[in-house]
Structure 1
Amino acid sequence: MSDTALQRKNMVESQVRPSDVTDRRITAAMMKISRDRFVPSHLASFAYSDETLTIAANQAMLAPRLLAKLMQLAEAEAGDKALVVGGSCGYAAAILAQLVAKVVALLPDGETASAAAEALSAVGVDNVETTAGALTAGCPSKASYDVILIEGGVETVPDALRNQLGDGGRLVAIGVGGDVGHAFLLHKRGKLIARRDAFQASAPLLPGFEAVRPAFVF
């Protein structure tokens, strides 16, 4: 077994499985995909650590167990089309691509999108399309989506993203801004969207996903 294969195995067995991740598709995907391919070289030694990594300014890679739990919450199915918002270097998209038919990975700029595309190609993932743009706008040209995964903390989910969910679609993210953060699920049925908080979690707040606060009046 190669060093990276052993690291992947240890990551799954010591971090992911003990965190109530029971979806074997997710653990199999994490066993298969080399996480170190998706981080800058100076972070390679931390690729399999149980921590959220700061990849660049305002870009973070969720800890493996947290990403796995968030992905399990989405209940992705084989025929689904998914949108990953943020996702730093494409790792979340690579894992989700093992569970669904098609993934659109929305990155904040062209350079990041190109780096993600190269990493995805390097690990043999060919059902992810990378694109760049405002994360809060989603990717309406490819909508609608069965699953939207926001990799990062949010205080609010923009209407643009809610509107890109198809009927029966699920959006998962990590709500922050209060005393205790929670991973949550938005489930769309017809014109209604229901929210369910799932488990305590924290993540860096993604720019643009701040709640609108009333202006101070003297």
Structure 2
Amino acid sequence: MGLNFEELRQAMVDSQVRPTDVTDLRLLEALLSVPREAFVPDQRKAFAYIDDDIEVTNGASETRRFLMEPSPFAKLVQLADVRPGDLVLDIGCGTGYSSAVFSLIGNAVIALESDSDLSDRASEILLENGFDNVAVVTGPLEAGYAGEGPYDVIFVGGAVDTVPESLFDQLKDGGRLVAVEGHGLGGFATLYVKDGQFVSGRQAFNLAVKALPGFERVPEFSF
């Protein structure tokens, strides 16, 4: 007997997402609509809805990459306050699950991925599942993708040491950037908002998620 993924999606929302103060109805509807199992490798589909990160890379990748655990992902997306007309830059899209969710709550999505194998898979999966308002692009995550900006929302899909100034330059006036700064128990979900030429940030809540490559702070040497 096969798995009932629709029931597993409902259970994910009811038992993992709602209990962690995720109340945005449009987001909850999107989480119930996107087939999470389509975005994980075949051998891990049975685990698509567990409350854990799921590896989406294989042994050939230089850096292990993960589909973020449902509850932390939903909390970060809710923090970003994505609106129906928004253009979203999804940094570190992996196989495209996060971009699919953004495509249902925003207007259009630029999905940026540095791993060419992952970006190819993301393009294929998104197209096969009808998410046609997402464009997948390949490039260094820390550089963003200025060519299609500025953006209403920039979502950094993993933990980073620091957010580069160049990403703030790619925000519209009034735009929001969400990232987890710090690692493990020292990680904080941080919301940045752009007001004219100024960007202000606030730590929203403690959160531990897997790291994204490319955002490592360069050590400073003193003599």
**Is this contact kept in 1: 2:13–2:28, CA < 8 A?**
yes
Instruction: Select the residue among 77, 81, 96 that pairs with 2:83.
Output: 77
Provide the rounded CA distance (Å) in 2 between the counterparts of 1:26 and 1:122: 22
Q: List alignment gaps of at least 5 residues for structure 1.
A: none
Q: What corresponds to 1:43 in structure 2?
A: 44
CA deviation map 1:121-174 (0-9, x unaligned) = 222211100010000111111010000001000110112211101100100011
Partner of 2:60: none
**Runs of 4+ in structure 1 over 6 Å off:** none
Count residues in correspondence: 216
Deviations 1:45-81 (A, max 9, x none): 2210111222223322111111110000001111110
For 1:4 and 1:208, locate their aligned partners in 2 and report how far apart those are by CA, in whole Å.
34
Q: Which whole-Å CA distance do the structure 2 matches of 1:203 and 1:195 have between them?
A: 19
Matches within 5 A, 1:52-91: 52-56=53-57, 57-91=63-97
Q: What is the TM-score when the length of structure 1 is the normalising length?
A: 0.95
Contact persistence 1:90–1:120 (CA under 8 A): yes
Aligned with residue 182 of structure 2, among 146, 165, 176:
176
**2:19 aligned partner:** 18
**TM-score calculated relative to the size of structure 2:** 0.93
CA RMSD of aligned residues (A): 1.4
> In structure 2, what residue type is equivalent to 1:160?
S
Structure 2 portions without partners, runs of 5+: 58-62
Percent identity, aligned pairs only, is: 39
Residue by residue, what CA displacement relative to the aligned partner does 1:4-48 show, whole Å, maximum 9, x if unpaired?
101100100110111100001111001111001001112212210
- State which drifts further: 104-113 or 50-59: 50-59
